[in-house]
């Protein structure tokens, strides 16, 4: 057994650095949407209407089913929620 350490769980479980970065971004966007929906007090049906998706899709989001969401979809949902995304790109340490 190895005592290897990783910057994030995604770095540990994904096969490539690119896949890990993609999962990190999706995770951040999904958590932001989930928190926004809860903060607004929206039901899943209301969130679905506002985000332009179905209620089962909102349920998948809130249950953290990350493999069901691509970055494009999440960016579209963020915009529909009236949120703004800011990015920062840094050199790998």
- pLDDT tens digits, residue range 60-76? 999 999 999 999 999 99
Q: Are 16 and 23 in contact (CB under 8 A)?
A: no
- pLDDT tens digits, residue range 15-54? 788 898 899 999 999 999 999 999 999 999 999 999 999 9
Which CATH code of 3.30.930.10, 2.30.30.240, 1.10.3470.10, 1.10.260.40 fits the domain covering 17-80? Answer: 1.10.260.40
**What's residue 12's pLDDT?**
67
Measured CA to CA, the distance from residue 46 to residue 11 in angstroms comes to 35
Owner of token pair 């096969």: 15
**Could you tell me which residue, 3 or 58, shows the higher pLDDT?**
58
Measured CA to CA, the distance from residue 36 to residue 47 in angstroms comes to 10
pLDDT at 11 over 70: no
């Amino acid at each position: 057994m190895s005592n290897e350490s990783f910057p994030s769980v995604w770095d540990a479980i994904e096969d490539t650095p690119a896949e890990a970065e993609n999962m990190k971004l999706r995770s951040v966007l999904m958590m932001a949407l989930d928190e926004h929906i809860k903060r607004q007090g929206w039901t899943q049906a209301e969130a679905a209407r506002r985000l332009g998706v179905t209620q089962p899709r909102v349920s998948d989001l809130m249950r953290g089913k990350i493999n069901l969401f691509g970055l494009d979809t999440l960016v579209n949902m963020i915009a529909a929620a009236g949120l703004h995304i800011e990015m920062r790109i840094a050199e790998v340490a």
